[in-house]
Amino acid sequence: MSELSITKYFPFTRVKIIKQNVHHKDASSALIYIEPDMRYSPLCHKCASKAATVHSKNHIRLIRDLNIANAQVFLQLSYRKIWCDECGGVRVEQMTFVDVGQRVTNRLARYIHDLCKMLTVKDVAKHLDIDPKTVKDIDKSFLEKSFGKDSFDDLRVLMIDEIAVHRGHRYMTVVADYFSGRVVWMGHDRNKQTLDAFFKNLANSQKRAIEAVAMDMWEPYINRVNYHCPDAKIVFDFFHVVQGFNRVIDYVRRSEYLKARGEDRKVLKGSRYLLLKNGSNLNDEQRNRLAKLLEFNRTLSSIYILKDQLKLLYYYSERRQVKQALDDWCMMAAQIDHSAVRAFAKRLRYFEYGIVNHADYPIGTSMLEGINNKIKVIKRKSYGFHDDRYFILKVKQACVA
């Protein structure tokens, strides 16, 4: 009659199981004793060459393995130290199922990494009853292998934007490939030195290959792109242009509210999102209220028309048409006697080249906004990251998942 064997659950080579102990009270844990199989010559863990001699025996390590059902499994591994002629020194013998210095088996490490794709470090640590720092270190080591090395090959069109990573206006700059959506690089802050650090990684031929860069109207970014890639066309993102004018709309609305009295104030009160939302996103009640507001206030009516006309700057595919649309918009804006409107029109004129360039390269940073949303989810799930390197690796992983 055959006996039950646990060896099939431990398909490790060059070692053998000699005995096992189970916590009999509730079978919550098991200890498996493993030692080298003497039929095989020990190998150096560093160069994998056969050992010339055995330096010492019976060294013990306790290693955590995958659970079996509800039982935590620990391996008590007896191993040897050897003299390696190739390395010229004493080395630990190679084990195929656990790395030197690691306290979990390779298969458990892989399982932890897979769990970390869906769960937080805290949740994985609680699930497996392992120190959260160990879980993070294991996940980080896998991420370093997959995403640790930045690749700057075949870059032609880039997107650059900043993300808020900590409270107190602490930012990181994200550089992504427009065509693949791949996060190419992330760096601290959003100043000139940040982009200098990025371009330092690129060879001159790689810089010359960059044709266009989509970004916000942020001077430090503009300055460094012009310096490092003088032939690249800068394209200002449509979303950021509209977002900037939305702030003007809100500023004008508040100014009109402060000037209004009595019933006029009631019409203006609570009208912020009526003016900022796209007309197609309003329900019938909101449309009726907006119509009443625009009929009542001439300044806001003109501002609302300018908002729709602003979108035409990114509609045309010829530079001449974009230039004409910008001229028309600035001429209409000049009719509104408000400092915020004049300042915005002046800003558009100053950055005219980046708006007109959209006709040649109809690109933007909308994909980066999607990446930004993923980053917010990562931060929210983990209650922030103290290890910025780990955070960068998690962002890169999320953007290819």
Span 286-336, pLDDT tens digits? 888 888 888 888 888 999 999 999 989 999 999 999 999 999 999 999 999
From start to end of 233-382, where are the E strands?
233-236
74 DSSP β-pair partners = 31, 64
168 band by pLDDT with thresholds 50, 70 and 90: low
Is 66 part of any domain? yes
State pLDDT tens for residues 224-273.
Answer: 999 999 999 999 999 889 999 999 999 999 988 888 887 777 778 878 88
Does residue 253 belong to any structural domain of this protein? yes
Residue 153 phi/psi, 5° resolution?
Answer: -80, 150
- 313 and 369, same domain (yes or no): no
**320 in a structural domain:** yes
Burial track 377-386 (b if 16+ CB lie within 10 A, e otherwise): ebbeebeebe
Nearest to 35 by CA among 55, 57, 52, 53: 57
Whichever domain contains 369, its CATH number is: 3.30.420.10
Count of the separate structural domains present in the chain: 4
Per-residue pLDDT reduced to its tens digit, 113-132: 999 998 989 999 999 999 99
Are 230 and 372 in a shared domain?
Answer: yes
pLDDT interval class at 209 (50, 70, 90): very high
pLDDT in tens, 355-371: 999 999 999 888 777 77
Residues 162 and 141 in one domain: no
Q: Give me the pLDDT at residue 167, please.
A: 65
Domain of residue 394 covers 157-237+364-398
Residues 46 and 15 occupy one common structural domain: yes
Same domain, 130 and 184: no
Q: Do residue 373 and residue 231 come from a single domain?
A: yes
| Tens of pLDDT, residues 259-278 | 888 777 777 887 888 888 88
> Does 269 lie in the same domain as 205?
no
Tell whether 323 and 268 lie within a shared domain.
yes
Say if CB 66 and CB 107 are below 8 A apart. yes
Cβ atoms of 358 and 314 within 8 Å: the answer is: yes
152 found inside a domain:
no
Residue 383 has pLDDT above 70, yes or no: no
**Number of CB atoms found within 10 A of residue 78's CB:** 15
Query: pLDDT > 90: what percent of the chain?
Result: 60
